[in-house]
Amino acid sequence: MRILVLGSGAREHAIILALRSERTEHEIFAAPGNAGIAQDAVVVALDADDPAAVTEYANGQHIDLVVIGPEAPLVAGVADALRERGIPVFGPGRAAAQLEGSKTFAKRIMDAAGVPTGRAVRAHTVDEVAAALDELGAPHVVKADGLAAGKGVIVTDDREAALAHAAQYLGPAPVLVEEYLGGPEVSLFFLSDGDHVLPLSPAQDYKRLRDGDEGPNTGGMGAYSPLPWLLEQFGGEDAFVDLVTTTIAEPVIHQLDAEGTPFIGLLYAGLVLTPQGVKVIEFNARFGDPETQVVLPRLVDPLSELLLAAASGHLEDFSRPAFAEATAVSVVLASEGYPSAPITGRLLTGLDAAAAVEGVHLAHAATGRSDEGVVATGGRVLNVVAVGTTFAESTSRAYSALAKIGLDGGQYRTDIAARVVED
């Protein structure tokens, strides 16, 4: 197949590596890509957010499947334009992508579908925010309604801080005051063709910058999969995945279909395992980053066939994807100053030595080439991904590989997957 992958992060690199690991050889194109992706795909200079440019390119190059990585092209209507031209695309249209972009839309769909989530109040003024905070109680959760790159949410016991956060985002659009959902968080992905869904294997990510879940929220500093502790609570991964498929993913997909906005692509359910049951914190309309980097290396079935089946409405012909028993861990290396003001342009060393560690590969996020070699071009620079039999093995492989990489001021967490490493 000739496959075009849109995006430039470690998630897109992970997708490309999964496509390349298949027995069938594909011709893979990436836009805009990065220095790591350039080693595994043909990088093309194309504005991934421009529906007309992407459609022209895909048409001219006889692309069989377009895979959209990030949310920006979805919101820009790239999937709609491709679908109109009859080009198979994995990624929802603009209307269905609101499931991620508009928290109000997502809550309405969940209510209509009877999907468990926290209570939420739309507040238009500071007084309404104050009343909602008092009604729902502490800890307080206030969210901006719209894409805010992870910065729109505050979770705090401090009522004044919650009010100040709300004031910052209040404007023509209201803010959402939400019930706090306490418990372990799980990310679970579903492939959808608009009607049928197939679940992938769950993962957990680490959103805070520093060890022990301290420091500011980030795009994600690491992840692991599978989640062995699901055994105690649910009797195993399959039982958990079945529950979320039937009570959350299928009702939401059917609701969107019934409203004339079918969701074709990746439904990302951000879940909290509360004492009252599994509840949805958020949906995303795309693969998660960094969770994809630990889910796809365990996928046994050919990714290209699953994505094409979803894109062309044939998912019902496929059975649930199989995953290897192996463990996978991903640790993100970030630039100094990330997330507020990352310092870029610094040289990376030791990449080949790191990738040579058994069971390890690198998924590049923000890397580019200079005369001296590979340099960091953004906040999250790359993921060191390790696969092993046990989590003790995969984490030790990941961290020994990380120790070989040089980046001045580079930051990473040292406790990724620590909770699942057997003594």
Using CB distances below 5 to 8 A depending on partner kind, what does residue 118 bind out of ligand GLY, ligand AMP, none?
A: ligand AMP
- Give least dist CB 152 to ligand AMP, A: 6
Bridge partner residues of 67 (DSSP): 5, 90
One of 95, 112, 126, 155 touching ligand AMP (CB under 6 A)? 155
Is-contact 127 186, C-beta < 8 A?
A: no
Using CB distances below 5 to 8 A depending on partner kind, what does residue 200 bind out of ligand AMP, ligand GLY, none?
A: none
Q: Give, as ranges, the residues between 73 and 132 that touch ligand AMP (CB under 6 A).
A: 118
Q: Does 251 bind ligand AMP (CB under 6 A)?
A: no
Q: How many CB atoms lie within 10 A of CB 168?
A: 14
Q: Does 153 bind ligand AMP (CB under 6 A)?
A: yes
Q: What number of chain residues touch ligand AMP (CB under 6 A)?
A: 13
Residue number, nearest CB to ligand GLY: 288
Using CB distances below 5 to 8 A depending on partner kind, what does residue 222 bind out of ligand AMP, ligand GLY, none?
A: none
Using CB distances below 5 to 8 A depending on partner kind, what does residue 205 bind out of ligand GLY, ligand AMP, none?
A: ligand GLY
Contacts 24+ apart (CB under 8 A), 254-262: 254/113, 254/195, 255/109, 255/112, 255/113, 256/96, 256/99, 256/109, 256/194, 257/194, 257/195, 259/109, 261/93, 261/95, 261/96, 262/96, 262/194, 262/195
CA-CA-CA-CA torsion sign (277, 280, 286, 291) = negative
Q: Give, as ranges, the residues between 277 and 316 that touch ligand GLY (CB under 6 A).
A: 284, 288-289, 291
Look at strands 89-90 and 204-205 and give their pairing: unpaired
Nearest Cα to 410, choosing from 329, 328, 354, 361? 354
Helix (H, G, I), strand (E, B) or coil at 69: coil
Alpha helices by DSSP H, 208-318: 230-234, 237-244, 250-258, 292-295, 303-311
Q: Which is nearer to ligand GLY, 220 or 297 (CB)?
A: 220
CA-CA-CA-CA torsion sign (55, 48, 36, 203) = negative
One of 270, 313, 350, 406 touching ligand AMP (CB under 6 A)? 270
- Give least dist CB 316 to ligand GLY, A: 27
What letter represents residue 407's amino acid?
L
Stretch that binds ligand AMP, among 175-183, 329-337, 346-354, 409-417 (CB under 6 A): 175-183
Q: Does 178 bind ligand AMP (CB under 6 A)?
A: yes
Q: Does 282 bind ligand AMP (CB under 6 A)?
A: yes
Binding stretches for ligand GLY (CB under 6 A):
205, 220, 284, 288-289, 291
Binding stretches for ligand AMP (CB under 6 A):
118, 141, 150, 153, 155, 178, 180-181, 185, 207, 270, 281-282
